[in-house]
Amino acid sequence: MKHLLSSALLTIAATCAASLLHPLHAQTPGVDFPKASPAASIKEQVGLASVAIDYSRPSARGRKIFGSLVPFGEVWRTGANEATKITFGAEVTFGGELVPAGTYGLFTIPGEKEWTVILNKVSGQWGSYAYDAKNDQVRIKVAPTHLAEPTETFLISVGDLKDDGASVSFAWESTRVSIKLHSEVVKVIVPQIEAAMKAEGKKPYFPSAMFYYEHGLDLKQALAWMEEALKEQPDAVWMVYRKGLIQAKAGDKPGALATGKQALALAEKAGGAIGAEYKRLCESLIASVK
């Protein structure tokens, strides 16, 4: 009897410990309880890299978060339940560090004045209980910023999107942490443009001209490609207007002014919503180069 009682107590203790470690894994037959920290997913395209983030969103519910519920100086799963997971579809630079394509566990070490953001090669961990620093891909230091309006529910976002970069941000309580994300596009796209221009068939004149313009590359070449594109569509107001932008960026104000006026005339002729939109854009271009 004594042996049976001891075994029963051990079973109860093990069950209780498991429920504490995995509180959301416990299920009650016939009852569908709402999740305390619901799952969320983010998918974005940053340059040539797809970025996917899977995490759970705990809420403050009146509790003090950083320095209390989430201690300073300790590894945090960066959310709730399973550790946050981030997947890069191509090589990226994360916080200034080169990171190969792949899936990583995203951990953090919060601090009052500095956070450590970690990409760990082992993803899919429950919490940070099995976290091992020897599997870290990168560690970066980031200064947190104060939010004027508190965030009740933990939020990860991908913002400040450009064609070659973005920022990954964490916000909870009155704290925000942001990491720069960069996807190399110039070194990849320029050789492709050059090859396309040498190949037989239709040339990508317009998008190539705009790529060079947007990335501050050879503006003389960008203008030549835009001229070629306009031979095929001479009355395309969106192309004429962008020719003016290239001229302005290259420092040719008289040329940009003349092109802006040409585009304005096309916009007024087009009429409707597109005409009104390009009328405003052309007037702004003209004003900037007068």
Which tokens hold the place of 196?
């396309």
**Beta-bridge partners for 154:** none
Task: Check residue 34 and give its pLDDT.
Answer: 83
Q: Which amino acid is at 280?
A: R
| pTM exceeds 0.85, yes or no | no
Q: Give the DSSP letter string of the chain.
A: -HHHHHHHHHHHHHHHHHHHHSTTT--BTTB-PPPSS-EEEEEEEETTEEEEEEEE--B-TT--TBTTTB-TTS-B-SSSSBPPEEEESS-EEETTEEE-SEEEEEEEE--SS-EEEEEES--S-BTTTT--GGGEEEEEEE--EEEEEEEEEEEEEEEEEETTEEEEEEEEEEEEEEEEEE---HHHHHHHHHHHHHSSS---HHHHHHHHHHTT--HHHHHHHHHHHHHH-TT-HHHHHHHHHHHHHTT-HHHHHHHHHHHHHHHHHH-HHHHHHHHHHHHHHHHHH-
Report the C-alpha gap between 41 and 29 in whole angstroms. Answer: 27
With 0-12 / 13-18 / 19 or more C-beta atoms within 10 angstroms meaning exposed / middle / buried, residue 186 is middle
- Alpha carbon distance 85, 172 (integer Å): 18
For residue 31, report the phi and psi dihedrals to the nearest 5 degrees.
Answer: -125, 125
Kindly give, in sequence order, each residue whose CB lies less than 8 Å from that of residue 208, ignoring residues fewer than 6 positions away.
193, 196, 197, 222, 225
Residues counted in the chain: 290
pLDDT in tens, the chain (290 residues): 444 444 444 444 434 333 333 444 455 677 888 888 899 999 999 999 999 999 999 999 999 999 999 999 999 999 999 999 999 999 999 999 999 999 999 999 999 999 999 999 999 889 899 999 999 999 999 999 999 999 999 999 999 999 899 999 999 999 999 999 999 999 999 999 999 999 999 999 999 999 999 999 999 999 999 999 999 999 999 999 999 999 999 999 999 999 999 999 999 999 899 999 999 999 999 999 98
Contacts of residue 59, Cβ cutoff 8 Å, sequence gap at least 6: 36, 37, 152, 153, 154
First to last CA, the chain: 98
- For residues 136 and 120, the answer to whether their CB atoms sit within 8 Å is yes
Q: What is the pLDDT of residue 36?
A: 84
Instruction: Say how far apart CA 58 and CA 179 lie, in whole Å.
Output: 21
The Cα–Cα gap between 27 and 32 comes to 8
Which residue segments constitute the domains of the chain, with CATH numbers given?
A: 35-182 (no CATH), 186-289 (1.25.40.10)
- pLDDT, residue 28, reads 63
Q: Say which residue the tokens 């300790």 belong to.
A: 74
